[in-house]
Amino acid sequence: MDRQETAETQLYASTMLRHTPAGIALFDAQDFRLLRANAYFQRILDANNDPHWQNGQTTGHQFFDWLPASTAHKFLSIFRHVATTGEPYRRGEHVFFNAPHIPSYWTWNLAALRAKNGHIAYLLLNASNVTRHVVARQKAEATHAALDSSNRLLEADRRRLTIVETVARSVRELLDIEHISKITIKNLVTHIEPRSVYIHTADAVERRMNLLHAFLINDDQQVVQSIQTVPYDGPTILSHMYKQRDLFIIENAQDKSVQENLTSYNPLSALGVHGYICAPLWYHDRFEGTLTTSFFHDIQRDGEEVQALAGCVPHISAALAHARLHTEVVNERERLRITLDQLPEGVLIVAASDRTIKYANQVTAHLMGRSLDNLLGSPFNTNTDNQPLPHTRGQKQHATSWVHLIELALQGEIMSSEESIIEQPDGSNVTCLSSCAPLRAEHGAIDGAMIVFQDITRLKSTEQQKAEFLSIASHELRTPITAMLGFAEILQMRVKQGASLDDVSQRALRHITEQSEQLTRLIEEMLDVTRIENAGLHLNSAYHNLVETLSNVIESQSITSKKHSIIFLKKDLQQPDILIAYYDEKRLIQIMSNLLSNSIKYSPQKSKIEVGLQHIHEQPEIALIWVKDQGIGIPPAELAHIFERFYRADNMDRSISGLGLGLYLVKELVTLHGGHIRVESQEGQGSTFYVVLPLDKKVE
Ligand code: ADP
């Protein structure tokens, strides 16, 4: 290489050094003077040195002159080592603050340069700013770390969700607590590695918890045995869970301070337990049990174990509540069924949807003459071609088919103590007193009907026999009485025609006639009652003059009772002596005679009795008739009963003859005429009976 070539090379070299993005400096290996430095190195020095040493002033000076003493001290040993051993020194990435809080990162190295004779003559320092790399790397690292932690969180979340989702799904699919608790335990075991998992169900009545399922990593049967039943307020943590809503968490049961703080009896540390979580299972306001887990590792309050457990809690609580309610409903149904089965009455339930018999007890089966098996599930209206009888409330009627009552109940009617007929397969009939009602679903729609039967066949036949007896007896009694009356009348006629009979005999004769007439009336009443009971009383109505009929009754009653003055008051009649109405004259006379004879019977002699007839303008379709006396009156408490069969008020003299049938018959007869009767009375002052009678024939 010639001289010119060398000069050129040196020029290139110094150009390269000037532009290299690294600081390069050459030091004397003996005294560590800075011999030369490139521009980049100069800039580093200028940025960090006193103004005094800036702009190349350091060249020719030993570095410990211009470096701060503390730094210079570290450099000195490095320089010495490289200068004496020739081993290069490499300083890896390190932080360097050239302005407060703004770090820059550097690497530098120091190499020994030997002279031709092999001695170390120079030291070459090479410093590179790696801040950009470092910052980029730091960012990458931070991003990575963040990703990593969020991945871990996501993973924990995913695992928690897997557990919760599986448990939730199983709850949705099948609210069977056995199934759900097994799935819960299996999931917790797979995902959060517990040492143990237990589920207890609460028994609020016995005040204890019963173990439903347990998992133990080492299958320690002794421990399982010890937690089979846990009484409330016992010595363990579990015992107190019914008082708290929050999860009970122990992060590390081996920690001495934790052990000291646990007031309850605590076998956890002895069992080698670290983490422990006990979740009380609440469903609304009801404590249903607990879910407990323990771990061989420490746990954290916000750790995945706690979160996984907390996620399962609502589902298991719901499942436990459902299981409990289900058992309660089943038990309740069972109790009800047993009660119905044992009832002495027949009970039958029909479903509205398919109109089949859903329930019948043995009594019903017996009444229907069918077996229970044959009855259950069969349509309720088979075996009977009976057209249901028209049913109108409030009217006396024949017994109707039970099927008809069910039909009415399915339409929403409630009926009690209705006479109904059950037709047995052999054609015989059973008479029942039945009550029937619709069964409604929660939203109010009718989804069935229930009927209760009480067999009254025997009662009915006794009643029938009684009626028959009464009817026969009345007929048989009537004949001799008619004969007696006839003979008495003959005698009376002969007296009138001049036959001699002393006073006593004449009085006796009058008595015989009166008493026989009274007896005839009583017998007639009894016969009428039997007719009404058997729906055998029919009216023989026609148009008559009501004024005339009433006048006749008053007249004949006045003849019998001369001790009362009976007056006839007519009001608002268009013609004073005529009011035409449609009625059975014989029966109207019976009505009026009854009312009048009562007034006579129950009021003092010489008192006034008023019979009234009014044709009110505003109500031209009716006649209002009344019988008013000034007698003993009727006690208010008895007013409601006096139209009942055989009812006699308490305030009267029992020696006054009567069966308590008169007013019952009056009411039935008035009703048959399409009218109605009511009474107003004040004890000690008198009574007024009002009869409302329709004037015209009822249009059917
Ligand atoms: P009885 O045969 O007893 O008269 P009723 O059926 O005719 O039977 O009457 C029932 C009861 O009503 C009577 O026993 C009596 O207590 C009461 N009663 C009926 N009419 C009157 C009246 N005008 N004044 C007071 N009490 C009456």
CATH number of the domain that residue 505 is part of: 1.10.287.130
163 pLDDT band, cuts 50/70/90, is low
- pLDDT score at 322: 79
Please indicate, yes or no, whether residues 544 and 516 belong to a single structural domain of this protein.
Answer: no
What's the Cα-to-Cα distance from 8 to each of 11, 115, 500, rounded to whole Å? 5, 22, 196
Pocket of ligand 1 (CB under 6 A): 598-599, 602, 629, 631-634, 642, 647-649, 652, 658-664, 687
Average pLDDT over residues 207-221: 87
In a domain, 7, yes or no: no
**Residue to mutate (ligand 1; options 518, 600, 634, 689; most atoms within 8 A of CB):** 634
pLDDT in tens, 620-636: 999 999 999 999 999 99
Statement to judge: residues 209 and 303 lie in one domain = yes
- Answer yes or no: is pLDDT of 188 > 70: yes
Higher pLDDT, 431 or 534: 431
The atom of ligand 1 lying closest to the CA of 686 is 24
Report yes or no: 195 and 295 within 8 Å, Cβ to Cβ. Answer: yes
Q: Note the pLDDT of residue 388.
A: 44
| Phi and psi angles of residue 218, each rounded to the nearest 5 degrees, phi first | -105, 15
Closest Cα to atom 25, ligand 1: which residue?
633
Does 337 fall in a domain? no
Q: Is residue 510 pLDDT above 90, yes or no?
A: no
pLDDT for res 384:
46
* Backbone Cα Rg of the chain: 59
Q: Which atom of ligand 1 is nearest to the CA of 643?
A: 6
Q: Is 511 found in the same domain as 397?
A: no
CATH number, domain with residue 634: 3.30.565.10
Specify whether 502 is located in the same domain as 597: no
Same domain, 121 and 22: yes
Out of 329, 357, 385, a domain closes at 329
Angle between helices 503-533 and 457-496 (to 10 degrees): 150
Give me the CATH number covering residue 393: 3.30.450.20
The total number of structural domains that make up the chain: 5
Closest residue CA from atom 7 of ligand 1: 662
DSSP string, 302-323: TSHHHHHHHHHHHHHHHHHHHH
- What strand order describes the sheet that includes 676-682? 565-571, 608-614, 622-628, 686-694, 676-682
Residue 101's pLDDT band, with cuts at 50, 70 and 90, is: low
The reply to whether 334 falls in a domain is no
Q: Quick one: 361 and 500 in the same domain? A: no
CATH number of the domain at 214, please.
Answer: 3.30.450.40
- Inter-residue contact 521 to 556 (CB < 8 Å): no
Query: Cα of 595 to ligand 1 centre, how many Å?
Result: 9
Residues 435 and 495 in one domain: no
In angstroms, the Cα distances linking 420 to 90, 250, 352, 386, 396 are: 115, 72, 21, 12, 13
Best mutation site among 642, 644, 654, 669 for ligand 1 pocket (most ligand atoms within 8 Å of CB)? 642
- Choice from 518, 561, 602 to test ligand 1 binding pocket (greatest atom count within 8 A of CB): 602
Residues 450 and 585 in one domain: no
Q: How far apart are CA 451 and CA 358, in angstroms?
A: 12
Same domain, 200 and 323: yes
**Per-residue confidence (pLDDT) for residue 334, from 0 to 100:** 76
- On the question of pLDDT at 697 being above 90, the answer is no
Task: Locate the ligand 1 atom nearest the alpha carbon of residue 652 and give its number.
Answer: 16
The closest-lying atom of ligand 1 relative to the alpha carbon of residue 663 is 6
Question: Is residue 339 in some structural domain?
Answer: no
Among 486, 501, 531, identify where a domain stops: 531
Do 494 and 411 fall within a single domain? no
Q: What is the pLDDT of residues 324-351, one digit of tens each?
A: 777 777 777 777 778 788 888 888 989 9
Give the model's pLDDT for residue 264. Answer: 61
Distance 594 CA to ligand 1 centre (A): 9
| Best CA proximity match to 247, nearest among 316, 301, 317 | 301
Distance CA 445, CA 436 (A): 17
- Does any domain span residue 49? yes
Q: Is residue 248 included in any domain, yes or no?
A: yes
Q: Which atom of ligand 1 is nearest to the CA of 525?
A: 2
Instruction: Supply the mean pLDDT for the chain.
Output: 85
Distances (CA, A) of 668 to 409, 473, 700: 29, 23, 19
Place 280 in a pLDDT band, splitting at 50, 70 and 90: very high
Looking at the structure, tell me whether residues 548 and 605 fall in a common domain.
Answer: yes
Take residue 539 and report the two structure tokens written for it. Answer: 């009216």
Place of tokens 């729609």: 445
Higher pLDDT, 143 or 491: 491
| Residue 635 is assigned to a structural domain of this protein | yes
> Ligand 1 centre and the CA of 333: distance in Å?
52
Ligand 1 pocket, mutate which of 524, 593, 598 (most atoms under 8 A from CB): 598
Residue 233 CA to ligand 1 center (angstroms) comes to: 73
For residue 406, what pLDDT band results from cuts at 50, 70 and 90? very high
Range of the domain at 489: 462-531
Using the Cα atoms of residue 204, residue 209, residue 212 and residue 215 in order, give the sign of their dihedral. Answer: positive
Task: Tell me how far the alpha carbon of residue 408 is from its chain's centroid.
Answer: 28
Residue 23 lies in a domain: yes
Same domain? For 189 and 298 the reply is yes
> Crossing angle, helix 177-192 and helix 131-173, to 10 degrees?
160
**523 vs 292, which has greater pLDDT?**
292
User: Final residue of a domain: which of 503, 531, 559?
Assistant: 531
Task: Compute, in angstroms, the gap from residue 597 CA to the centroid of ligand 1.
Answer: 9
Work out the pLDDT band at 484, boundaries 50, 70, 90.
confident
Test site for ligand 1: of 595, 648, 668, 688, most ligand atoms within 8 A of the Cβ: 648
- The whole-model pTM stands at 0.44
Mean pLDDT over 140-148 rounds to 73
**What is the atom index within ligand 1 of the atom nearest the CA of 660?**
8
Instruction: Report which of residues 603 and 284 the model is more confident about.
Output: 603
- What single string gives the DSSP state of each residue in 414-471? -EEEEEEEEE-TTS-EEEEEEEEEEEE-TTS-EEEEEEEEEE-HHHHHHHHHHHHHHH
> Which among 140-149, 229-238, 375-384, 473-482 has the top mean pLDDT?
229-238
